[in-house]
Amino acid sequence: MKSTVIFEEGNHKWIIFGRDPNKKDKIIDTNQHLVMAGGEAILLDPGGIELFAPMLAAVVHHVPLESIKTLFASHQDPDIISSLGLWDQVLEKATLHAPWLWEGFIRHFGCDQITYNPIPDEGGEIKIGGRALQFVPAHYLHASGNFSVYDPAAKILMSGDVGAALIPDDAPMFVENFEDHIAYMEGFHQRWMPSNRAKNLWVERVRKLDVEMISPQHGAIFRGDNVPRFLDWLEDLEVAAWLTS
Amino acid sequence: MTALSLTLGIHMARKVDLEKNKFHLLAVSVAADLSDVKAEGEAISLEAMNAKVLVARAGTMALGFRPLTDFMVELADDTIRLVNEIEFEALAVSLQAVERLRTLNAVNQAQRALVLAEGAPVKHIGGLNVFVKKALDLDNARVEQLLDHAVHLTSLLEEISEQMIAACAVASSARIEAAAIEPRYSASFNSVSTNLQRCAEAVLKKVKASHSLLSQALNMTGNYQ
């Protein structure tokens, strides 16, 4: 599994894992995020059960297993968190932060040792090695209980399925040509996102943040000018397309 | 070679091949099959109660049937007790087997990750090795418990088989006795005897199949030792 450091400042680091060359063909490619700070680490959307072993191997290249005390799941989908039952066994005294709405569902993946911390609808904040991470509501994008994660120091927003794109296996980690990239993400957003109102509220919320990178759970990362470009594009896009087709 | 690397080497060498090992499937099948035995055990109890009512109604005309009825009631009580114990033990074996599957799956994944993590800093993979060791220790303890439950279950299955063979003998005697009773009661007593025989044979068939499955499962567990 490929790992890319997308931010590094002292011991504060963001690493993205994905583009696993051994991934089975019919499994959607996913980006897993590791945030390290002050000797602690959090895994954001740690991924599906199918890629647990390569993911675990990739993670221990960067941090000892013992330093992972925190997990985050933006929502309940299997590509986000079906590996939970395995993390539950290999991690000691870890906490999973995930939407309160999905607790009864996510626990079906296996959550005996890990403490489930339900995130309230309005979001919240946690500290990793003294660094704040904010849970930004992204409800109905696409799950009815859904959060993005914002790091104000790194100015990175891990946006979950917002900004996701179904790209070729060898595509670069960062969006290079926004206009070309639209073809990979338009259909995804039109079909998977169920609410124009929810989408526009999220855009409004994100515009108030100081964001230099938007890193989705599928596809490529938006940085620099592509961040406002993406927000404008998303605002103008009509979603829930099946209803009007 | 250090003691630590030797220990880890031993753990790595221990092949946990879940594909070939269908132990958990057999254990769950045994539990599912034996759940049917409970229904038959309850049917035996019901037939014993029927026999008791018939004897009371027939009075002096069914005196020869009374000791058989008393034995049937005793047999039914014993059967229900055994069936409950069997159900408890079968469930314990099944649950332990599923827990093993979960643990061994995690061990497999961790061992695969250890191979894929080649080149990672040694201090980073220490936690993974600790997990594998602890999980295999836990699995060994679980195998011990599982064996205890399985051995007890086997003896319970043998005990209930003997009970059911006795029940078949009682049913035969009861049929002979029924033939000697006044015709208006004879058909009812005959029906009770036939039902008792059918239930006992059904239990015997299930128990025999479960016993065989359990033996296969225990042989597989032996392969882990």
Task: Kindly give the pairing relationship between strand A124-128 and strand A115-119.
Answer: unpaired
The pair of three-digit structure tokens given for residue B28, joined into one six-digit string = 């769950």
Q: Taking CB atoms and an 8 Å limit, are A86 and B109 in contact across chains? A: yes
Place of tokens 């989408």: A199
Instruction: Give the global pTM.
Output: 0.81
**Which pLDDT score is estimated for B22?**
65
Q: Taking CB atoms and an 8 Å limit, are A53 and B116 in contact across chains? A: yes
pLDDT at B221 exceeding the cut of 70: no
- pLDDT-derived band at B21 (thresholds 50, 70, 90) equals low
Chain A with chain B: Cβ pairs closer than 8 A: 68
- pLDDT-derived band at B224 (thresholds 50, 70, 90) equals very low
Write the residue in A53, A58, A62 that is nearest to B109 by C-beta: A53
Kindly give, in sequence order, each residue whose CB lies less than 8 Å from that of residue B191, ignoring residues fewer than 6 positions away.
none
Mutate to test the interface with B, among A2, A89, A108 (most CBs of B within 10 A): A89
- pLDDT-derived band at A152 (thresholds 50, 70, 90) equals very high
Q: Taking CB atoms and an 8 Å limit, are B116 and A57 in contact across chains? A: yes
Q: Residue B64, Cβ neighbours under 10 Å: how many?
A: 15
Mutate to test the interface with B, among A36, A43, A60, A69 (most CBs of B within 10 A): A60
Contact A106, A116 (CB under 8 A): yes
Write the residue in B102, B115, B127 that is nearest to A64 by C-beta: B127
- pLDDT-derived band at B125 (thresholds 50, 70, 90) equals very high
pLDDT tens per residue, range B36-84: 777 887 888 888 888 888 888 888 887 878 888 888 888 888 888 988 8
Q: Which of B29-38, B95-104, B186-195 has the lowest mean pLDDT?
A: B29-38
- pLDDT-derived band at A109 (thresholds 50, 70, 90) equals very high
Q: How many CA atoms lie within 13 Å of A1's alpha carbon, on the beta-carbon side?
A: 29
Helices (H), chain B: 3-13, 23-58, 66-116, 122-180, 183-224
Question: By the CB < 8 Å criterion, does A118 face chain B?
Answer: no
Q: Taking CB atoms and an 8 Å limit, are B117 and A57 in contact across chains? A: yes
**Which pLDDT score is estimated for B18?**
44
Chain A partners within 8 Å of B103 (Cβ)? 89
Question: By the CB < 8 Å criterion, does A5 face chain B?
Answer: no
- pLDDT-derived band at A208 (thresholds 50, 70, 90) equals very high
Contact A128, A72 (CB under 8 A): no
Mutate to test the interface with B, among A65, A68, A91 (most CBs of B within 10 A): A65
Mean pLDDT taken over chain B: 80
Inter-residue long-range contacts of A221-224, CB under 8 Å, 24+ positions, other chains counted: A221/A6, A221/A16, A221/A173, A221/A174, A221/A175, A222/A163, A222/A174, A222/A175, A222/A178, A223/A174, A223/A175
Q: Residue A162, Cβ neighbours under 10 Å: how many?
A: 27
**Which pLDDT score is estimated for B19?**
39
CA distance A109 to chain B (A): 11
pLDDT tens per residue, range A7-47: 999 999 999 999 888 888 888 999 999 999 999 999 999 99
pLDDT at A119 exceeding the cut of 80: yes
| Closest residue on chain B to A55 (Cα) | B113
The pair of three-digit structure tokens given for residue B117, joined into one six-digit string = 């993590």
Angstrom distances, CA of residue B58 to CA of A242, B46, B48: 76, 18, 15
**Which pLDDT score is estimated for B142?**
85
pLDDT tens per residue, range A66-107: 999 999 999 999 999 999 999 999 998 999 999 999 999 999
B139-B128-A16 Cα angle (round to 5): 130
- pLDDT-derived band at B28 (thresholds 50, 70, 90) equals confident
Mean pLDDT taken over chain A: 95
CA distance B26 to chain A (A): 23
C-alpha A76/C-alpha A93 separation (Å) is: 21
C-alpha A20/C-alpha B75 separation (Å) is: 64
Chain B partners within 8 Å of A63 (Cβ)? 124
C-alpha B27/C-alpha B96 separation (Å) is: 9
User: Which bin fits B154, alpha (ψ -120 to 50), beta or left (φ > 0)?
Assistant: alpha
pLDDT at B1 exceeding the cut of 70: no
Question: By the CB < 8 Å criterion, does A94 face chain B?
Answer: no
- pLDDT-derived band at A182 (thresholds 50, 70, 90) equals very high
| Closest residue on chain A to B138 (Cα) | A89
Give kind and range of the element (H or E) at residue A189: helix A178-192
Contact B103, A86 (CB under 8 A): no
pLDDT at A60 exceeding the cut of 70: yes
Q: What is the DSSP letter of A67?
A: G
- pLDDT-derived band at B222 (thresholds 50, 70, 90) equals low
Greater pLDDT, A24 or A178: A178
- pLDDT-derived band at A155 (thresholds 50, 70, 90) equals very high
Contact A133, A154 (CB under 8 A): no
Mutate to test the interface with B, among A67, A90, A93 (most CBs of B within 10 A): A90
C-alpha B83/C-alpha B92 separation (Å) is: 14
Q: Taking CB atoms and an 8 Å limit, are A90 and B110 in contact across chains? A: yes
